Amino acid sequence: MKNINFSCTSPTSDECLKLTVRKKGSAKQSMLPLLVFALPFFIFATTGFAQSVGQLHQIELWAEKIPAGAEGGSERFAYQMNSHVISDMDGSNETDATARYVTAPTIPGPTIVINEGDEVEITLRHVFDPGDSATLDQVSVHVHGVHYDILSDGTIEYINLVQDESATPTMSYTYRWTAAPGTAGTWAYHDHNMITLNGAEDRGLYGALIVNGAAETVALDQGGQLVTVPLSSINKEYVMFMVDDAFFGMEIDNQTGQQTPLLDNPALAAQQGSNVRFHLVALGTVTHNFALPGYSWIDPGTNLIISEKIIGPLEQYVFAVQANRNTQYMDTAFSSSLLGMKGDFNVIP
Ligand SMILES: [Cu+2]
Protein backbone atom coordinates (compact mmCIF):
# COMPACT_ATOMS: atom_id res chain seq x y z
CA MET A 1 0.00 0.00 0.00
CA LYS A 2 2.84 2.31 0.78
CA ASN A 3 4.12 1.77 -2.68
CA ILE A 4 0.81 2.53 -4.28
CA ASN A 5 0.27 5.93 -2.73
CA PHE A 6 3.42 8.02 -2.74
CA SER A 7 1.64 11.24 -1.87
CA CYS A 8 0.82 10.08 1.70
CA THR A 9 3.14 11.28 4.35
CA SER A 10 1.63 8.85 6.83
CA PRO A 11 0.41 5.67 5.15
CA THR A 12 -1.82 4.73 8.06
CA SER A 13 -3.78 7.95 8.19
CA ASP A 14 -7.46 7.78 7.14
CA GLU A 15 -6.90 10.15 4.26
CA CYS A 16 -4.12 7.98 2.92
CA LEU A 17 -6.13 4.77 3.20
CA LYS A 18 -9.02 6.38 1.32
CA LEU A 19 -6.70 7.62 -1.36
CA THR A 20 -5.07 4.23 -1.68
CA VAL A 21 -8.36 2.37 -1.92
CA ARG A 22 -9.68 4.82 -4.45
CA LYS A 23 -6.55 4.42 -6.54
CA LYS A 24 -6.65 0.65 -6.42
CA GLY A 25 -10.28 0.64 -7.44
CA SER A 26 -9.81 3.08 -10.25
CA ALA A 27 -6.87 1.13 -11.55
CA LYS A 28 -8.95 -2.05 -11.76
CA GLN A 29 -11.81 -0.21 -13.39
CA SER A 30 -9.57 1.37 -15.99
CA MET A 31 -7.69 -1.84 -16.86
CA LEU A 32 -10.75 -3.84 -17.86
CA PRO A 33 -11.95 -1.68 -20.78
CA LEU A 34 -8.37 -1.35 -21.88
CA LEU A 35 -8.00 -5.13 -22.06
CA VAL A 36 -11.31 -5.54 -23.88
CA PHE A 37 -10.28 -2.79 -26.26
CA ALA A 38 -6.75 -4.12 -26.81
CA LEU A 39 -7.52 -7.82 -27.18
CA PRO A 40 -8.90 -7.71 -30.74
CA PHE A 41 -5.87 -5.66 -31.79
CA PHE A 42 -3.57 -8.17 -30.17
CA ILE A 43 -5.26 -11.08 -31.90
CA PHE A 44 -5.30 -9.17 -35.20
CA ALA A 45 -1.67 -8.20 -34.81
CA THR A 46 -0.49 -11.74 -34.11
CA THR A 47 -2.51 -13.38 -36.90
CA GLY A 48 -1.64 -10.51 -39.25
CA PHE A 49 2.01 -11.06 -38.46
CA ALA A 50 1.70 -14.80 -39.02
CA GLN A 51 0.21 -14.21 -42.46
CA SER A 52 2.65 -11.53 -43.61
CA VAL A 53 5.78 -13.15 -42.20
CA GLY A 54 8.49 -13.62 -44.76
CA GLN A 55 10.50 -16.57 -45.95
CA LEU A 56 13.64 -18.25 -44.72
CA HIS A 57 16.68 -18.42 -47.02
CA GLN A 58 19.15 -21.14 -46.11
CA ILE A 59 22.34 -20.46 -48.00
CA GLU A 60 25.68 -22.19 -48.18
CA LEU A 61 28.31 -19.89 -49.66
CA TRP A 62 31.87 -20.89 -50.45
CA ALA A 63 34.92 -18.62 -50.45
CA GLU A 64 37.61 -19.82 -52.84
CA LYS A 65 40.85 -18.78 -54.43
CA ILE A 66 40.64 -18.35 -58.20
CA PRO A 67 43.41 -18.14 -60.78
CA ALA A 68 44.87 -14.68 -61.35
CA GLY A 69 43.91 -13.03 -64.65
CA ALA A 70 46.19 -13.17 -67.68
CA GLU A 71 47.64 -9.84 -66.61
CA GLY A 72 48.85 -11.38 -63.35
CA GLY A 73 48.58 -9.24 -60.24
CA SER A 74 47.79 -10.32 -56.70
CA GLU A 75 45.87 -13.46 -55.82
CA ARG A 76 42.13 -13.30 -56.32
CA PHE A 77 39.36 -14.80 -54.26
CA ALA A 78 35.68 -15.22 -54.99
CA TYR A 79 32.41 -16.36 -53.46
CA GLN A 80 30.40 -19.19 -54.97
CA MET A 81 26.79 -20.08 -54.22
CA ASN A 82 26.78 -23.73 -53.22
CA SER A 83 23.13 -23.95 -52.24
CA HIS A 84 20.17 -21.65 -51.69
CA VAL A 85 16.95 -23.13 -50.32
CA ILE A 86 13.91 -20.93 -49.72
CA SER A 87 11.15 -22.07 -47.37
CA ASP A 88 8.51 -20.83 -44.98
CA MET A 89 9.93 -19.85 -41.60
CA ASP A 90 9.11 -23.29 -40.16
CA GLY A 91 11.04 -25.01 -42.97
CA SER A 92 7.97 -26.16 -44.93
CA ASN A 93 7.34 -25.48 -48.64
CA GLU A 94 10.98 -25.67 -49.67
CA THR A 95 12.13 -24.37 -53.05
CA ASP A 96 15.68 -24.98 -54.23
CA ALA A 97 16.93 -21.79 -55.91
CA THR A 98 20.52 -23.00 -56.43
CA ALA A 99 20.10 -23.38 -60.21
CA ARG A 100 19.81 -19.57 -60.55
CA TYR A 101 23.52 -19.24 -59.96
CA VAL A 102 26.57 -20.20 -61.99
CA THR A 103 28.41 -23.21 -60.59
CA ALA A 104 31.74 -21.45 -60.16
CA PRO A 105 33.27 -18.83 -57.93
CA THR A 106 32.63 -15.42 -59.51
CA ILE A 107 33.63 -11.78 -59.16
CA PRO A 108 31.28 -10.23 -58.24
CA GLY A 109 29.84 -12.94 -56.00
CA PRO A 110 26.23 -14.11 -56.26
CA THR A 111 23.46 -11.56 -55.80
CA ILE A 112 21.15 -12.67 -53.01
CA VAL A 113 17.58 -11.51 -53.72
CA ILE A 114 15.11 -11.52 -50.83
CA ASN A 115 11.98 -9.67 -49.70
CA GLU A 116 11.45 -7.37 -46.78
CA GLY A 117 10.37 -9.61 -43.88
CA ASP A 118 12.63 -12.50 -44.91
CA GLU A 119 15.43 -14.05 -42.89
CA VAL A 120 18.72 -15.38 -44.16
CA GLU A 121 20.82 -18.09 -42.56
CA ILE A 122 24.09 -18.06 -44.45
CA THR A 123 26.81 -20.60 -43.78
CA LEU A 124 30.23 -19.73 -45.17
CA ARG A 125 32.80 -22.40 -46.02
CA HIS A 126 36.49 -21.68 -46.57
CA VAL A 127 37.50 -23.95 -49.47
CA PHE A 128 40.99 -22.79 -50.44
CA ASP A 129 43.33 -25.57 -51.52
CA PRO A 130 45.98 -26.74 -49.09
CA GLY A 131 49.17 -24.92 -49.97
CA ASP A 132 47.45 -21.66 -50.80
CA SER A 133 48.96 -18.72 -49.00
CA ALA A 134 45.54 -17.78 -47.66
CA THR A 135 44.86 -21.23 -46.21
CA LEU A 136 45.45 -20.15 -42.65
CA ASP A 137 43.44 -16.99 -43.02
CA GLN A 138 39.98 -16.35 -41.79
CA VAL A 139 37.28 -15.40 -44.28
CA SER A 140 33.87 -13.88 -43.57
CA VAL A 141 30.68 -12.28 -44.85
CA HIS A 142 29.88 -8.82 -43.56
CA VAL A 143 26.66 -7.30 -44.89
CA HIS A 144 25.26 -3.79 -45.05
CA GLY A 145 21.66 -2.61 -44.68
CA VAL A 146 19.85 -5.48 -42.94
CA HIS A 147 19.62 -6.32 -39.24
CA TYR A 148 21.73 -8.84 -37.33
CA ASP A 149 23.19 -9.31 -33.89
CA ILE A 150 26.84 -8.97 -32.97
CA LEU A 151 27.61 -12.63 -33.74
CA SER A 152 26.70 -12.06 -37.40
CA ASP A 153 28.83 -8.98 -38.01
CA GLY A 154 31.49 -10.96 -39.88
CA THR A 155 34.35 -9.11 -38.22
CA ILE A 156 37.15 -10.32 -35.97
CA GLU A 157 37.26 -10.06 -32.20
CA TYR A 158 39.71 -7.15 -32.37
CA ILE A 159 36.89 -5.11 -33.93
CA ASN A 160 33.70 -6.58 -32.44
CA LEU A 161 35.11 -7.37 -28.95
CA VAL A 162 33.20 -10.69 -28.86
CA GLN A 163 34.77 -13.31 -31.13
CA ASP A 164 36.23 -13.98 -34.55
CA GLU A 165 33.25 -14.41 -36.89
CA SER A 166 35.00 -16.23 -39.70
CA ALA A 167 35.10 -19.47 -41.60
CA THR A 168 38.50 -21.16 -41.34
CA PRO A 169 39.90 -24.19 -43.20
CA THR A 170 38.46 -26.44 -40.50
CA MET A 171 35.26 -24.66 -39.43
CA SER A 172 32.35 -23.08 -41.28
CA TYR A 173 30.57 -20.07 -39.80
CA THR A 174 26.85 -19.26 -39.91
CA TYR A 175 25.49 -15.70 -40.06
CA ARG A 176 21.84 -14.71 -39.55
CA TRP A 177 20.31 -11.63 -41.17
CA THR A 178 16.79 -10.22 -40.79
CA ALA A 179 15.35 -8.03 -43.54
CA ALA A 180 13.27 -6.09 -41.02
CA PRO A 181 10.76 -3.45 -42.17
CA GLY A 182 12.69 -0.47 -43.52
CA THR A 183 15.63 -2.47 -44.87
CA ALA A 184 14.46 -2.57 -48.51
CA GLY A 185 17.29 -1.59 -50.82
CA THR A 186 20.41 -2.91 -52.48
CA TRP A 187 23.32 -3.60 -50.19
CA ALA A 188 26.88 -4.82 -50.48
CA TYR A 189 28.25 -7.83 -48.66
CA HIS A 190 31.94 -8.57 -48.49
CA ASP A 191 34.71 -10.32 -46.61
CA HIS A 192 35.99 -8.45 -43.57
CA ASN A 193 38.62 -10.75 -42.13
CA MET A 194 40.97 -12.16 -44.74
CA ILE A 195 44.47 -10.73 -45.12
CA THR A 196 43.57 -7.37 -43.48
CA LEU A 197 41.10 -6.19 -40.84
CA ASN A 198 39.06 -4.73 -43.67
CA GLY A 199 38.91 -7.94 -45.62
CA ALA A 200 39.70 -8.96 -49.15
CA GLU A 201 36.93 -7.24 -51.08
CA ASP A 202 39.65 -5.64 -53.22
CA ARG A 203 40.71 -9.20 -54.23
CA GLY A 204 37.18 -10.16 -55.30
CA LEU A 205 35.27 -11.17 -52.16
CA TYR A 206 32.12 -9.08 -52.58
CA GLY A 207 28.56 -9.37 -53.80
CA ALA A 208 25.14 -7.75 -53.41
CA LEU A 209 22.00 -8.34 -51.40
CA ILE A 210 18.75 -7.01 -52.91
CA VAL A 211 15.90 -6.58 -50.43
CA ASN A 212 12.68 -5.94 -52.36
CA GLY A 213 10.12 -3.92 -50.43
CA ALA A 214 6.62 -5.17 -49.72
CA ALA A 215 4.35 -3.75 -52.47
CA GLU A 216 7.31 -1.89 -53.95
CA THR A 217 6.76 0.14 -57.08
CA VAL A 218 9.30 1.61 -59.46
CA ALA A 219 9.09 5.05 -61.05
CA LEU A 220 10.00 5.18 -64.74
CA ASP A 221 10.45 7.96 -67.26
CA GLN A 222 8.54 6.91 -70.40
CA GLY A 223 9.34 9.55 -73.00
CA GLY A 224 9.18 12.40 -70.51
CA GLN A 225 6.11 10.89 -68.83
CA LEU A 226 6.50 9.81 -65.21
CA VAL A 227 4.88 6.40 -64.72
CA THR A 228 4.83 4.11 -61.72
CA VAL A 229 5.04 0.40 -62.43
CA PRO A 230 4.98 -2.62 -60.11
CA LEU A 231 8.26 -4.31 -59.31
CA SER A 232 7.02 -7.37 -61.24
CA SER A 233 7.24 -5.36 -64.48
CA ILE A 234 11.04 -5.10 -64.20
CA ASN A 235 12.42 -7.56 -66.76
CA LYS A 236 16.08 -7.38 -65.92
CA GLU A 237 18.31 -6.25 -63.07
CA TYR A 238 21.84 -5.01 -63.56
CA VAL A 239 23.88 -4.90 -60.37
CA MET A 240 26.87 -2.73 -61.27
CA PHE A 241 29.72 -2.53 -58.80
CA MET A 242 31.86 0.52 -59.27
CA VAL A 243 35.30 -0.31 -57.98
CA ASP A 244 38.00 2.32 -58.23
CA ASP A 245 38.85 1.68 -61.88
CA ALA A 246 36.13 -0.43 -63.52
CA PHE A 247 32.53 -1.62 -63.48
CA PHE A 248 31.86 -5.24 -62.58
CA GLY A 249 28.32 -6.48 -63.01
CA MET A 250 25.75 -9.15 -62.36
CA GLU A 251 22.80 -9.56 -64.69
CA ILE A 252 19.60 -11.08 -63.38
CA ASP A 253 16.81 -12.23 -65.69
CA ASN A 254 13.71 -11.74 -63.58
CA GLN A 255 11.68 -14.27 -65.55
CA THR A 256 13.98 -17.17 -64.69
CA GLY A 257 15.97 -15.67 -61.80
CA GLN A 258 19.10 -16.71 -63.71
CA GLN A 259 22.25 -14.77 -62.81
CA THR A 260 25.16 -14.02 -65.13
CA PRO A 261 28.34 -12.41 -63.83
CA LEU A 262 29.76 -9.71 -66.11
CA LEU A 263 33.47 -8.92 -66.07
CA ASP A 264 35.08 -5.52 -66.22
CA ASN A 265 33.16 -2.78 -68.06
CA PRO A 266 30.82 -5.35 -69.64
CA ALA A 267 28.49 -4.76 -72.58
CA LEU A 268 24.87 -4.84 -71.41
CA ALA A 269 21.90 -5.77 -73.59
CA ALA A 270 18.17 -5.38 -73.10
CA GLN A 271 15.09 -5.90 -75.27
CA GLN A 272 13.52 -2.79 -76.80
CA GLY A 273 10.74 -1.57 -74.49
CA SER A 274 11.75 -3.75 -71.55
CA ASN A 275 12.12 -2.31 -68.07
CA VAL A 276 15.63 -2.48 -66.66
CA ARG A 277 16.64 -1.69 -63.10
CA PHE A 278 20.18 -0.61 -62.31
CA HIS A 279 21.69 -1.18 -58.87
CA LEU A 280 24.89 0.84 -58.57
CA VAL A 281 27.11 -0.13 -55.66
CA ALA A 282 30.28 1.88 -55.11
CA LEU A 283 33.12 -0.07 -53.53
CA GLY A 284 36.56 1.40 -53.02
CA THR A 285 37.51 4.96 -52.24
CA VAL A 286 36.64 7.26 -55.13
CA THR A 287 33.57 9.31 -55.98
CA HIS A 288 31.83 8.39 -59.23
CA ASN A 289 29.52 10.30 -61.54
CA PHE A 290 27.27 7.79 -63.27
CA ALA A 291 25.69 8.72 -66.58
CA LEU A 292 23.64 6.93 -69.23
CA PRO A 293 23.51 9.45 -72.11
CA GLY A 294 20.17 9.56 -73.91
CA TYR A 295 18.33 8.30 -70.84
CA SER A 296 16.92 10.01 -67.81
CA TRP A 297 15.24 8.50 -64.79
CA ILE A 298 13.29 9.35 -61.68
CA ASP A 299 15.56 10.08 -58.72
CA PRO A 300 14.06 7.67 -56.14
CA GLY A 301 12.27 9.37 -53.28
CA THR A 302 11.70 12.50 -55.39
CA ASN A 303 9.74 13.46 -58.51
CA LEU A 304 12.86 14.78 -60.22
CA ILE A 305 13.91 13.48 -63.59
CA ILE A 306 17.71 13.33 -63.73
CA SER A 307 20.29 12.03 -66.17
CA GLU A 308 23.41 11.56 -64.04
CA LYS A 309 24.16 10.87 -60.40
CA ILE A 310 27.13 11.38 -58.09
CA ILE A 311 27.82 8.25 -56.02
CA GLY A 312 30.37 8.37 -53.21
CA PRO A 313 32.41 5.53 -51.69
CA LEU A 314 30.22 2.74 -50.25
CA GLU A 315 27.02 4.42 -51.43
CA GLN A 316 24.44 2.57 -53.48
CA TYR A 317 21.83 3.87 -55.88
CA VAL A 318 18.92 2.15 -57.59
CA PHE A 319 16.92 3.44 -60.56
CA ALA A 320 15.05 2.05 -63.55
CA VAL A 321 14.73 2.90 -67.23
CA GLN A 322 12.78 1.58 -70.18
CA ALA A 323 15.22 0.38 -72.86
CA ASN A 324 14.69 2.37 -76.06
CA ARG A 325 18.08 3.29 -77.59
CA ASN A 326 21.68 2.16 -77.73
CA THR A 327 24.09 4.11 -75.57
CA GLN A 328 27.00 3.69 -73.19
CA TYR A 329 26.89 3.71 -69.42
CA MET A 330 29.86 5.59 -67.99
CA ASP A 331 31.52 7.15 -65.02
CA THR A 332 32.27 10.72 -66.06
CA ALA A 333 34.25 11.62 -62.91
CA PHE A 334 37.63 12.93 -64.08
CA SER A 335 39.96 10.09 -63.04
CA SER A 336 37.35 7.41 -63.85
CA SER A 337 36.89 8.71 -67.37
CA LEU A 338 40.67 8.65 -67.84
CA LEU A 339 40.57 5.01 -66.77
CA GLY A 340 37.87 4.31 -69.35
CA MET A 341 35.11 3.32 -66.92
CA LYS A 342 32.35 2.76 -69.45
CA GLY A 343 30.62 0.08 -71.47
CA ASP A 344 27.90 -0.45 -74.07
CA PHE A 345 24.21 -0.56 -73.32
CA ASN A 346 22.69 -2.19 -76.38
CA VAL A 347 19.00 -2.39 -77.11
CA ILE A 348 17.81 -5.42 -79.05
CA PRO A 349 14.91 -4.65 -81.40
CU1 LIG B 1 31.30 -2.87 -45.79
Per-residue pLDDT reduced to its tens digit, 170-214? 899 999 999 999 999 999 999 999 988 888 888 899 999 999 998
Q: Which of 43-52, 248-257, 293-302 has the lowest mean pLDDT?
A: 43-52
The domain ranges of the chain are: 1-52, 55-214, 217-349
Q: Which of 7-16, 232-241, 340-349 has the lowest mean pLDDT?
A: 7-16
How far does residue 171's CA lie from ligand 1's centre (Å)? 23
CB atoms within 10 A of CB 256: 9
Higher per-residue pLDDT: 284 or 81 = 81
Q: Among candidates 248, 209, 199, 46, which has minimal Cα distance to 122?
A: 209
How far does residue 214's CA lie from ligand 1's centre (Å)? 25
How far does residue 88's CA lie from ligand 1's centre (Å)? 29
Reply yes or no on whether the pLDDT at 19 is more than 50.
no
* Topology alike, domains 55-214 and 217-349: yes
Distance between start and end Cα atoms, the chain: 83
Q: Please state the φ and ψ torsions of residue 172, each to the nearest 5 degrees.
A: -85, 170
How far does residue 242's CA lie from ligand 1's centre (Å)? 14
Reply yes or no on whether the pLDDT at 18 is more than 50.
no
How far does residue 143's CA lie from ligand 1's centre (Å)? 6
CATH 2.60.40.420: does it fit domain 217-349? yes
How far does residue 285's CA lie from ligand 1's centre (Å)? 12
The pTM assigned to this predicted structure is 0.82
How far does residue 267's CA lie from ligand 1's centre (Å)? 27
Reply yes or no on whether the pLDDT at 24 is more than 70.
no
How far does residue 230's CA lie from ligand 1's centre (Å)? 30
Percent of the chain clearing pLDDT 90 (strictly above): 63
How far does residue 207's CA lie from ligand 1's centre (Å)? 11
How far does residue 236's CA lie from ligand 1's centre (Å)? 26
User: Can you tell me the mean pLDDT for 266-287?
Assistant: 94
Higher per-residue pLDDT: 90 or 131 = 90
How far does residue 73's CA lie from ligand 1's centre (Å)? 23
Higher per-residue pLDDT: 75 or 70 = 75
CATH code: domain 55-214 is 2.60.40.420
How far does residue 149's CA lie from ligand 1's centre (Å)? 16
How far does residue 204's CA lie from ligand 1's centre (Å)? 13
Higher per-residue pLDDT: 69 or 96 = 96
Q: Which of 12-16, 140-144, 199-203, 305-309 has the lowest mean pLDDT?
A: 12-16
Q: Tell me, what's the pLDDT at 27?
A: 39
How far does residue 190's CA lie from ligand 1's centre (Å)? 6
